[in-house]
Amino acid sequence: MTDPHLPAPERQPLLDQAVIALRAPTQTWSRRSGDMGEAPIDGVYHGDIRHIRGLELTCDGSAIEWISLDDADASRVVFGGLLRGLDSPLPDPRVRLVRERVVADGSLTETVRIVSAVDAAVETTLRLAVTPEFAALHDVKAGLAAGASVTADVVGDTAAVSDGERSFDLRAPGAVLSWRDGIVQVEWDVRVPAGGTGEHTVSIEMTDPGLVVTGARSSAPWDRADVARRGTAIEPRLGHWLSRALDDLDALRLALPEHADDEFYAAGAPWFFTLFGRDSLWAARLSLPLDVRIAASTLRVLARLQGDATDPDTAQQPGKILHELRAAALEIPSEGVVLPPVYYGSVDATALWVCLLVDAWRAGMPEPEVRDLLPALDGALTWLREDGDADGDGFLDYIDETGRGLANQGWKDSGDSIQWRDGTLASGPIALCEVQAYAYEAARGAAELLEALGAEDAHTASDLRAWAADLRTRFAEAYWVETPEGRYPAIALDRDKRPVDTLTSNIGHLIGTGILDPLDEARIASLLLAPSMSSGYGIRTMSTDAGGYWPLAYHGGSVWLHDTAIAAHGLARAGLREEATEVVAGMLSAADGFGFRVPELHAGDPASQTRVPVPYPAACRPQAWSAAAAIVALQVLES
Residue range 323-360, pLDDT digits in tens: 999 999 988 777 788 999 999 999 999 999 999 999 99
Q: E strands along 359-507, which residues? A: 431-432, 480-483, 486-489, 492-493, 499-500
Model pLDDT, residue 5: 42
> Shortest CA distance to 428 belongs to which of 345, 323, 547, 309?
345
Round the average pLDDT of the chain to a whole number and report it.
Answer: 96
Q: Is the pLDDT of residue 4 over 80?
A: no
Pairing of strands 214-215, 253-256: antiparallel
* CA angle at 557 for the pair 552 and 562, rounded to the nearest 5°: 100
Model pLDDT, residue 165: 87
How far is residue 164's CA from residue 263's CA, in Å, rounded to a whole number? 30
Taking only the tens place, the pLDDT of each residue in 573-583 is 999 999 999 99
Rounded mean pLDDT, 61-72: 96
Share of the chain above pLDDT 70, in %: 98
Taking only the tens place, the pLDDT of each residue in 206-236 is 999 999 999 999 999 999 999 999 999 999 9
| Cβ 417 vs Cβ 504: under 8 Å | no
Rounded mean pLDDT, 47-59: 97
Least confident of 3-12, 181-190, 196-205, 517-526: 3-12
How far is residue 463's CA from residue 270's CA, in Å, rounded to a whole number? 44
Model pLDDT, residue 7: 41
Classify 445 as helix, strand or coil. helix
CA distances from 269 to 248, 264, 303, 374, 514 (A): 10, 15, 24, 33, 34
User: Which residues lie closer than 8 Å to 622 by C-beta, 6 or more apart?
Assistant: 20, 22, 74, 245, 248, 251, 252, 268, 269, 597, 598, 599
Classify 227 as helix, strand or coil. helix
Share of the chain above pLDDT 90, in %: 93
For the CA atoms of 559, 560, 563, 565, the dihedral, rounded to the nearest 10 degrees, stands at 100
The residues that bridge with 68 in the sheet, in sequence order, are 80
User: Which residues lie closer than 8 Å to 195 by C-beta, 6 or more apart?
Assistant: 116, 117, 118, 119
How many other β-carbons are positioned within 10 Å of the β-carbon of residue 223? 12
| Cβ 131 vs Cβ 197: under 8 Å | no
CA distances from 393 to 176, 472, 493, 497, 591 (A): 70, 14, 11, 9, 42
Residue 143 confidence class, pLDDT cut points 50, 70, 90: confident
The 10 Å CB-count burial string (b at 16+, else e) for 305-327 is bbbeeeeeebbbbebbbbbbbbb
Q: Convert 464-490 into a string of H (helix), E (strand) and C (coil).
A: HHHHHHHHHHHHHHHCEEEECCEEEEC
Rounded mean pLDDT, 30-43: 97
Pairing of strands 19-23, 26-30: antiparallel
Rounded mean pLDDT, 97-108: 98
Tell me which H or E stretch contains 338: strand 337-339
Rounded mean pLDDT, 47-71: 97
Q: How far apart are the first and last CA of the chain?
A: 56
Model pLDDT, residue 3: 43
How far is residue 1's CA from residue 7's CA, in Å, rounded to a whole number? 14
Tell me which H or E stretch contains 371: helix 367-372
Pairing of strands 158-162, 151-155: antiparallel
> Shortest CA distance to 347 belongs to which of 301, 413, 289, 285?
413
The 10 Å CB-count burial string (b at 16+, else e) for 403-432 is ebbbbbbbbbbeeebbbbbeeebbebbbbb
How far is residue 63's CA from residue 310's CA, in Å, rounded to a whole number? 61
> How many CA atoms are closer than 13 Å to the CA of 97, on its beta-carbon side?
28
Model pLDDT, residue 1: 36
The alpha carbons of the chain give a radius of gyration, in whole angstroms, of 26
Least confident of 10-14, 361-365, 570-574, 603-607: 10-14
CA distances from 373 to 215, 369, 376, 384 (A): 24, 7, 5, 17
> Shortest CA distance to 271 belongs to which of 592, 523, 40, 98?
40
User: Which residues lie closer than 8 Å to 152 by C-beta, 6 or more apart?
Assistant: 132, 159, 160, 161, 162, 179, 184
Q: E strands along 42-182, which residues? A: 43-46, 49-59, 65-73, 76-82, 95-104, 107-116, 122-136, 151-155, 158-162, 167-171, 176-180
Rounded mean pLDDT, 238-258: 98
Rounded mean pLDDT, 110-117: 98
How far is residue 539's CA from residue 567's CA, in Å, rounded to a whole number? 9
How far is residue 108's CA from residue 249's CA, in Å, rounded to a whole number? 20
Model pLDDT, residue 147: 66
How far is residue 106's CA from residue 254's CA, in Å, rounded to a whole number? 12
Model pLDDT, residue 10: 67
Pairing of strands 492-493, 486-489: unpaired
For the CA atoms of 555, 633, 627, 316, the dihedral, rounded to the nearest 10 degrees, stands at 60
> Shortest CA distance to 67 belongs to which of 16, 21, 33, 105?
33
> Shortest CA distance to 320 belongs to which of 386, 394, 399?
386
| Cβ 307 vs Cβ 317: under 8 Å | yes
Tell me which H or E stretch contains 343: strand 342-343
pLDDT top residue among 165 and 555: 555
Percentages helix, strand, coil for the chain (3-state, rounded to 5) are: 30, 25, 40
Model pLDDT, residue 2: 37
Q: Is the pLDDT of residue 458 over 90?
A: no
pTM of the full predicted structure? 0.96
